């Protein structure tokens, strides 16, 4: 075949751009909402059908588009937000690339009705698969209404990659939550399949809507934070030291009003919280960084969720300092609830900052990643992943090899005592046995819950006082969708009006536990479960979460008779060499091992 160079047709170019901007229904929703906000709207109505997979409608009261310009809005690189190349360094609007509308139009059917302020009549345009189908003048209110349907009908490959309706709905709700957190001045009403799922009125302060958006339980554990370093200012809310979640879903970072996912900031957050929350747990944070627009490059990613900083060190230090100062002011925060003394923290801090900045330059610096170049992008993100992993891994002890398979009989060992209120020490003939009390109890509970669920005996226990939980709208939707799996895992949960649920029964082995102790993590697991392939796998995860929460903690003094029953239960438990996360439960040192350690051999 002759390889002739030819300029791509408009249609193909738009379709390619769409591949990057329009990944899933939630990304369409995001672009439509950002356009509305850029148009100065302070009232937004959103209707979703089937989690946005069937249709997405956004109505705003913004300044609208003049009838003569409506066709232009669907041209690639047509924007009202930038005139010259210098503007790219002072971007204050969400949009500026002029790509969203033509991209959406190329992969779906889009109807737009709009009337600009002061015009006598409005205008309606319909495009399908990128082609204008009709355009006419029409009477309508000021502002713009956009409806997108037949999403990915022309791109079957994309359609195949859509996740479950629940997962797509969750992603759409997440987009809405970000806007609601970012802009308390905007009124937002959202319906899903005709049912109202979110309504947030205009408020002056974020604090007034935090509970509506994040759910009362989370909001009740947040405290305000503020900080400043050089040109960087920080404000917002962070969670109390005694509250944590299993993953980083509660990270809401906004840079100059733009939601971003940023590894450098996440790292700074972990550094700030390191002393006070347990390893591998994550706080919830809603914070806003303000920096002169010329100090952030937002033109790094088509969906603009990644940015590049000119002064990463200021950003990093600002975040850590503000968090550390706030947490230190919490009673008991000075020494930290977990982990290290402040002095120890000081020395490791500088090393960690250096490391984080080095990685940052590795990922973002030098050559800017050019989007469109998939190879480079993949590399960029895998580096980021590596980095995020290493954040978690830092400080984690190396895991010793699996202990020998022939498990001792624990109830016949002599109990010698407890070390650090965490490890139980036994002797048995020529062996010294060290057991991790939390890991042991975790495995015991896990097996109990699992077999109860299988045999349906002692499977469920009704709570004397049913527990009401208020969730965020996004969490609520996904939780309701997962009701069946939860029921199989022994959890009976029912809608309770608004975004509240009532918990009526829990698995028998957990009956003595307060639901507050395990529900937040269960929610995290269910929410993450949108991606899990099988319900069986999700169920196992739920068992593991419940077992972990129900198990006796490290740093807890055990009475001798408690140790005795733990040992008896260990003897009756299968798979008792490792905890459900795969960590060893006990270590055995034979006399010969001790002799080696004492250099007798
Ligand atoms: P960008 O937002 O990057 O400028 P878009 O393709 O998203 O590009 O939109 C193109 C143009 O259409 C915008 O610059 C704006 O002038 C106009 N526009 C789009 N949506 C709206 C809206 N809801 N209200 C007013 N104008 C809009
Ligand atoms: Mg736009």
Residue 85 burial (CB < 10 Å; 0-12/13-18/19+)? exposed
Task: Tell me what pLDDT residue 436 has.
Answer: 94
Testing ligand 1's pocket by substitution, the residue of 101, 111, 144 carrying the most ligand atoms inside 8 A of its CB is 101
- Residue nearest to ligand 1 atom 14, measured at CA: 79
The Cα–Cα gap between 381 and 549 comes to 33
Q: Return the ligand number nearest the Cα of 76.
A: 1
Rounded distance from Cα 453 to ligand 1 centre (Å) = 53
Task: Tell me what pLDDT residue 341 has.
Answer: 45
Tell me the per-residue pLDDT of 255-265, one tens digit each, with 9 for 90 and over.
Answer: 998 898 888 89
pLDDT of residue 243 exceeding 70, the answer is yes
Tell me the per-residue pLDDT of 102-157, one tens digit each, with 9 for 90 and over.
Answer: 889 988 999 999 999 888 899 999 999 888 999 999 999 999 999 999 998 877 77
pLDDT of residue 358 exceeding 80, the answer is no
Phi, psi angles (nearest 5°) of residue 24: -155, 170
pLDDT of residue 522 exceeding 60, the answer is yes
Q: How confident is the model at residue 275 (pLDDT cuts 50, 70, 90)?
A: low
Mapping DSSP to helix (H, G, I), strand (E, B) and coil, where does residue 136 land? strand
Mapping DSSP to helix (H, G, I), strand (E, B) and coil, where does residue 451 land? helix
Q: Return the ligand number nearest the Cα of 99.
A: 1
Counting atoms of ligand 1 from 1, which one is nearest the CA of 78?
A: 10
Tell me the per-residue pLDDT of 142-170, one tens digit each, with 9 for 90 and over.
Answer: 999 999 999 988 777 777 778 788 888 98
Per mean pLDDT, which range of 4-13, 23-32, 485-494 is the poorest? 4-13
Q: How confident is the model at residue 402 (pLDDT cuts 50, 70, 90)?
A: very low
Residues with beta carbon < 5 A to ion ligand 2?
35, 95, 100
> Which of 26-30, 293-297, 346-350 is most confident?
26-30
Are the C-beta atoms of 269 and 281 separated by less than 8 Å? no
Ligand 1 surroundings by CB, under 6 angstroms: 31, 35-36, 38-39, 60, 62-65, 73, 78-81, 95-101, 144
Counting atoms of ligand 1 from 1, which one is nearest the CA of 82?
A: 4
Task: Tell me what pLDDT residue 496 has.
Answer: 83
Task: Tell me what pLDDT residue 186 has.
Answer: 94
Residue (of 363, 352, 266) closest to 308 by Cα position: 363
Whether domain 10-200 has CATH 3.30.565.10: the reply is yes
Phi, psi angles (nearest 5°) of residue 141: -70, 165
Q: How confident is the model at residue 74 (pLDDT cuts 50, 70, 90)?
A: confident
pLDDT of residue 301 exceeding 70, the answer is no
Rounded distance from Cα 413 to ligand 2 centre (Å) = 69
Task: Tell me what pLDDT residue 391 has.
Answer: 27
Structure tokens at 255: 């840079």
Q: What mean pLDDT, rounded, does the chain reach?
A: 80
Task: Tell me what pLDDT residue 381 has.
Answer: 28
Rounded distance from Cα 163 to ligand 2 centre (Å) = 25
E-only strand ranges, 29-108: 43-49, 55-60
% of the chain residues with pLDDT over 90 = 28
Largest Cα separation within the chain, whole Å, is 98
Task: Tell me what pLDDT residue 331 has.
Answer: 67
Testing ligand 1's pocket by substitution, the residue of 83, 88, 95 carrying the most ligand atoms inside 8 A of its CB is 95
Domain ranges of the chain: 10-200, 207-364, 376-588
Task: Tell me what pLDDT residue 532 has.
Answer: 52
In order of 72, 95, 172, 386, the CA distances from 82 in angstroms are 15, 9, 28, 36
| Class of domain 207-364 as given by CATH | alpha beta
Task: Tell me what pLDDT residue 26 has.
Answer: 94
Q: Return the ligand number nearest the Cα of 63.
A: 1
Residue (of 172, 31, 45) closest to 477 by Cα position: 172
Rounded distance from Cα 79 to ligand 2 centre (Å) = 8
pTM: 0.67
Counting atoms of ligand 1 from 1, which one is nearest the CA of 36?
A: 23
Rounded distance from Cα 98 to ligand 2 centre (Å) = 6
The CATH homologous superfamily to which domain 376-588 belongs is: MutL, C-terminal domain, regulatory subdomain (3.30.1370.100)
Q: Return the ligand number nearest the Cα of 77.
A: 1
């Amino acid at each position: 075949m002759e390889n002739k160079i030819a300029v791509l047709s408009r249609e193909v170019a738009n379709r390619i751009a769409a591949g990057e901007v329009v990944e899933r229904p939630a990304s369409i929703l995001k672009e439509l909402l950002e356009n509305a906000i850029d148009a100065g709207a302070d009232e937004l109505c959103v209707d979703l059908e089937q989690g946005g997979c069937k249709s997405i409608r956004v109505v705003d009261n913004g300044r609208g588009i003049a009838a003569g310009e409506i066709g232009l809005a669907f041209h690639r690189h047509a924007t009202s937000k930038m005139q010259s190349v210098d503007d790219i360094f002072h971007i204050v609007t969400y949009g500026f690339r002029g790509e969203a509308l033509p991209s959406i139009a190329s992969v779906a059917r889009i109807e737009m009705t709009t009337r600009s302020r002061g015009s006598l009549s409005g205008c309606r345009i319909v495009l399908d698969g990128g082609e204008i189908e009709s355009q006419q003048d029409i009477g309508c209110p000021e502002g713009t209404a956009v409806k997108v349907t037949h999403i990915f009908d022309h791109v079957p490959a994309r359609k195949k990659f859509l996740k479950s309706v629940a997962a797509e709905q969750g992603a759409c709700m997440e987009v809405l939550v970000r806007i609601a957190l970012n802009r308390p001045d905007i009124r937002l009403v959202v319906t899903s399949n005709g049912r109202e799922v979110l309504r947030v009125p205009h408020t002056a302060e974020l604090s007034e809507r935090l509970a509506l958006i994040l759910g009362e339980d989370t909001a009740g554990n947040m405290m305000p934070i503020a900080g400043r370093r050089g040109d960087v200012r920080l404000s917002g809310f962070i969670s109390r030291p005694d509250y944590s979640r299993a993953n980083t879903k509660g990270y809401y970072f906004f840079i100059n009003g733009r939601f971003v996912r940023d590894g450098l900031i996440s790292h700074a957050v972990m550094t700030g919280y390191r002393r006070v929350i347990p390893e591998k747990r994550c706080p919830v944070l809603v914070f806003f960084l303000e920096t002169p627009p010329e100090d952030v490059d937002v033109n790094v990613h088509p969906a603009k969720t990644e940015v590049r900083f000119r002064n990463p060190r200021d950003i990093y230090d600002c975040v850590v300092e503000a968090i550390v100062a706030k947490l230190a002011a919490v009673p008991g925060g000075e020494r930290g609830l977990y982990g290290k003394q402040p002095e120890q923290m000081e020395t490791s801090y500088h090393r960690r900052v250096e490391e984080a900045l080095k990685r940052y330059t590795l990922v973002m610096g030098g050559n800017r990643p050019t989007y469109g170049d998939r190879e480079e992008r993949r590399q960029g993100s895998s580096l980021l992943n590596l980095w995020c992993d290493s954040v978690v891994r830092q400080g984690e002890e190396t895991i010793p090899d699996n202990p020998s398979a022939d498990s001792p009989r624990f109830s016949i060992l002599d109990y010698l005592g407890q070390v650090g209120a965490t490890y139980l020490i036994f002797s048995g003939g020529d062996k010294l046995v060290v057991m991790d009390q939390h890991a042991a109890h975790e495995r015991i509970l896990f097996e109990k819950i699992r077999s109860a669920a299988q045999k349906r005996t002692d499977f469920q226990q009704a709570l004397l006082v049913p527990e009401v939980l208020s969730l965020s709208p996004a969490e609520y939707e996904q939780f309701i969708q997962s009701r069946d799996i939860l029921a199989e895992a022994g959890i009976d949960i029912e809608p309770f009006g608004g975004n509240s649920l009532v918990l009526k029964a829990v698995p028998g082995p957990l009956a003595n536990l307060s639901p507050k102790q395990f529900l937040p993590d269960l929610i995290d697991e269910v929410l993450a479960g949108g991606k899990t392939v099988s319900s069986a796998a999700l169920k196992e995860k739920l068992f593991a979460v419940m077992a972990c929460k129900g198990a006796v903690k490290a740093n807890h003094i055990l009475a001798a008779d408690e140790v005795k029953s733990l040992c008896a239960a260990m003897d009756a438990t299968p798979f008792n060499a490792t905890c459900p996360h795969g960590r060893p439960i006990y270590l055995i040192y034979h006399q010969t091992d001790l002799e080696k350690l004492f250099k007798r051999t």
